[in-house]
């Protein structure tokens, strides 16, 4: 069952989505060499509160922070810590916000200072893959068209999608059906319908894309130590394709 949201539910999700976008943008501007990643978490909590929202990740299955900060070869679910950002890092920030029981979820990746051009290309291709995928979140399309278009773009550019984590339906809960893999599957159903809300989130690695979970029980890192990037938007399925609701 994939829930269809009514107008009021969509309005709340858009409000949550706008807060996600504003906060991610503020954090991106604040992130620089010498900042400890836990300062980003503190700032996120303050900002979300000031906008009247709730951090959706905090306490979710015991996750202990408001945001995920994944540096370099960390793929997703990096813990904010006293580690400082350094020149040349690539950093992913992932954030979910709740407003009156409805959620939105998004992630961005960006480089700090003098970033290796190949890492810059990894970031660009991952963001492109997100937009290519969300264009397929169109009423009447099959769900599988999202993942196959993402995988095709990533492969063409010589990178790998990470297969252990997937996008998801979202609404009252952070993770609802359906699962949205970033690769093609033999079974491409169900059909997408207007009013579904999906979090589409390609995770892309420079190398092979195999991952392991680090000793904190959460953080996924690439096995080969290669860099990884992650972009995510919450979108509303419409006849024109996925309409991003996690933007300003």
Q: Which residues bind Co ion (CB under 5 A)?
A: 105, 199
Out of 9, 41, 127, 232, the residue judged to bind ligand MF3 by CB under 6 A: 232
176 forms part of the interface with ligand MF3 (CB under 6 A): no
Around Cβ 177, how many Cβ atoms within 10 Å?
Answer: 13
Block residue for tokens 């491409």: 188
3-state class of 167 per DSSP? strand
Contact letters (x/-) for ligand MF3, 200-229, by CB under 6 A?
-x----------------------------
Binding part of the chain for ligand MF3, among 36-44, 47-55, 58-66, 118-126 by CB under 6 A, reads 58-66
Out of 63, 79, 102, 183, the residue judged to bind ligand MF3 by CB under 6 A: 63
DSSP category for residue 157: T
H or E segment and range at residue 235 = strand 233-238
Least distance to Co ion from the beta carbon of 246, Å? 10
Which of 69/199 has CB closer to Co ion? 199
What is the DSSP track for 17-81? HHHHHHHHHHHHHH--TT-BHHHHHHHHHHHHHHTT-EESSTTGGG--SSEEEEETTEEE-PPP-
27 forms part of the interface with ligand MF3 (CB under 6 A): no
Least distance to Co ion from the beta carbon of 176, Å? 11
98 forms part of the interface with ligand MF3 (CB under 6 A): no
Q: Tokens for 111?
A: 């480089």
159 forms part of the interface with ligand MF3 (CB under 6 A): no
Measure CA 242 to chain center.
15
Binding part of the chain for ligand MF3, among 20-28, 32-40, 55-63, 144-152 by CB under 6 A, reads 55-63
173 forms part of the interface with ligand MF3 (CB under 6 A): no
Binding part of the chain for ligand MF3, among 16-24, 60-68, 85-93, 239-247 by CB under 6 A, reads 60-68
Report how far residue 43's alpha carbon sits from residue 228's, in angstroms, rounded to the nearest whole number.
24
What is the DSSP track for 183-222? S--S--PPBP-TT-EEEE--EEESS---EEE-TTSS-EEE
Report how far residue 98's alpha carbon sits from residue 17's, in angstroms, rounded to the nearest whole number.
9
Least distance to Co ion from the beta carbon of 107, Å? 7
Binding part of the chain for ligand MF3, among 21-29, 34-42, 61-69, 109-117 by CB under 6 A, reads 61-69
200 touches 206 (CB < 8 A): no
| 41 interface partner picked from Co ion, ligand MF3, none, CB below 5 to 8 A per type | none
Q: Which residues bind ligand MF3 (CB under 6 A)?
A: 57, 60-61, 63, 68, 77, 94, 105, 107, 168, 174, 199, 201, 232
């Amino acid at each position: 069952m994939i829930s269809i949201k009514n107008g009021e539910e969509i309005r709340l999700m858009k409000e949550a989505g706008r807060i996600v976008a504003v906060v991610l943008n503020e954090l991106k501007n604040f992130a620089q060499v010498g900042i400890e990643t836990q300062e980003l978490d503190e700032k996120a909590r303050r900002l979300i509160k000031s906008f009247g929202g709730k951090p959706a990740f905090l306490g979710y299955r015991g996750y202990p922070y408001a945001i995920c900060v994944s540096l370099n070869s960390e793929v997703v679910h990096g813990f904010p810590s006293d580690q400082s950002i350094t020149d040349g890092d690539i950093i992913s920030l992932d954030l979910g916000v709740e407003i009156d029981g409805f959620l939105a979820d998004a992630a961005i990746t960006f480089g700090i200072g003098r970033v290796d051009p190949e890492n810059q290309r990894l970031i660009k291709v991952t963001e492109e893959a997100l937009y290519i995928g969300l264009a397929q979140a169109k009423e009447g399309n099959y769900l599988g068209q999202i993942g196959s278009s993402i995988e095709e773009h990533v492969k063409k550019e010589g990178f790998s999608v990470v297969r252990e984590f997937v996008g998801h339906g979202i609404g009252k809960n952070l993770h609802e059906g359906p699962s949205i893999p970033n690769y093609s599957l033999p079974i491409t159903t169900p059909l997408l319908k207007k009013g579904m809300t999906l979090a589409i989130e390609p995770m892309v690695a420079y190398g092979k894309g195999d991952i392991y979970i680090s000793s904190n029980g959460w953080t996924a890192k690439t096995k080969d130590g290669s860099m990884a990037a992650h972009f995510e938007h919450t979108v509303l399925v419409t006849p024109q394709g996925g309409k991003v609701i996690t933007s300003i």
